[in-house]
Structure 1
Amino acid sequence: MTAEGSEERGAGDVAPEPARDEVDRIVAAWARERPDLDVTPLTVLSRVTRLARYLDLARRGSFARHGLDTWEFDVLSALRRAGAPYRLSPGALLTQTLVTSGTMTNRIDRLTERGLVERGPSPDDRRGVLVELTPLGRTRVDDAMADLLTIERGLLSELADTDRARLANLLRDLVAPFDAP
């Protein structure tokens, strides 16, 4: 050992490659401390977790620039994706946003107060209600979506198109079992 506490290297020894990201450092530390464990799942899933955090921050910032919270964007984008006339039943909104009935009622109330959606009668069911995107809601969600895509393109800019497509396919294979009915 040298005075600095590192091992001396022989002429043919190659220095280990430095860590490229925080996950590399975490995995190396766990491998050192618990060599009995296979820590390879961390190499993928810890990166997915970290990426999700970065993406969440980027999305929140993008939506905030357009006067929206994340949950507001979720509801408005579900209505926008429905196509003209941009309306869905509260039940359909529940399915797409994965919240409870009470939560959805509260969200629709708040979006109605802000002038982003309107409630109207269902033409198919006298007791039913449809939630419709207002022109203001459509403008907000369209602008927020355009901004979000610019940000997300930037997050993926280090990857070649073929790598992005490959990553999308691999992630689909990983997520699909969770989305199965």
Structure 2
Amino acid sequence: MDHVARIQAEWRRERPDVDVSPQGVIGRLHRLAPLLTERLCLVYRRHGLGEGEFDVLCALRRAGEPFERAPGELAEHTMVTTGAMTKRIDRLERGGLVTRRRSTADGRGRVVALTGAGREVVDAAFTDHMRNERSLLDLLTAEEAAQLESLLAAWLTRLEPPADT
């Protein structure tokens, strides 16, 4: 019996009038999230990055040549506020991983771009990140992983607002 099952058993004993079955899913996801985050952050730290910096570098790398985006666009791609984005960009710029310049399309706007060093760091970190995610997912069978992916995708589709494409 795992931790969540023990909690459910106690609630069933104390409050038999309440359906505690949702805890079986929500409680386990809640316990799983920090465990996964901790293991993912180990890889980021090996590359001198925090989770936020890794997200920014990945968003720039996914943009394709010339590997740049406006700060507001970066905030959308990483789901953080523009204030938090500014702090992340400041740290990455101090580390020589990104540069900021005025937009050629809009002189008032700014553009953040990966440097050569930034691209090397994100490529190495992303390769290690995928290897790490694979090792975490390999704790499940291929069939279990496929079922979980399908279920989570369906649930997210119903809960999350549609992404702008």
**Alignment TM-score > 0.5, same fold:** yes
Matches within 5 A, 1:13-162: 19=1, 21-162=2-143
The runs of 4+ residues in structure 1 deviating greater than 3 Å are none
Count of residue pairs brought into register by the alignment: 162
Partner of 2:89, secondary structure, is helix
Partner of 1:73, secondary structure, is helix
Q: 2: distance between equivalents of 1:132 and 1:178?
A: 33
Q: Look up the equivalent residue of 2:129 and give its one-letter code.
A: L
Range with bigger deviation, 57-66 or 134-143:
134-143
Partner of 1:130, secondary structure, is strand
Q: Look up the equivalent residue of 1:125 and give its one-letter code.
A: D
Q: Look up the equivalent residue of 2:66 and give its one-letter code.
A: P
Q: 1: distance between equivalents of 2:61 and 2:54?
A: 10
Which TM-score applies when normalising by structure 1?
0.83
Cα RMSD of the aligned pairs, angstroms, is 1.5
Displacement, 1:75? Answer: 0.8
Q: 2: distance between equivalents of 1:142 and 1:26?
A: 43
- The CA deviation string for residues 76-114 of structure 1, in whole angstroms up to 9 with x for no partner, is 111111111110001101111222222222221221111
Q: 2: distance between equivalents of 1:109 and 1:68?
A: 13
Corresponding residue of 1:177: 158
Based on CA coordinates, which of the two structures has the bigger radius of gyration?
1
Corresponding residue of 2:147: 166
Partner of 2:41, secondary structure, is helix
Q: Comparing both structures, which one devotes a greater share of its residues to helix?
A: 2
**Structure 2 unaligned blocks of 5 or more:** none
**Structure 1 unaligned blocks of 5 or more:** 1-18
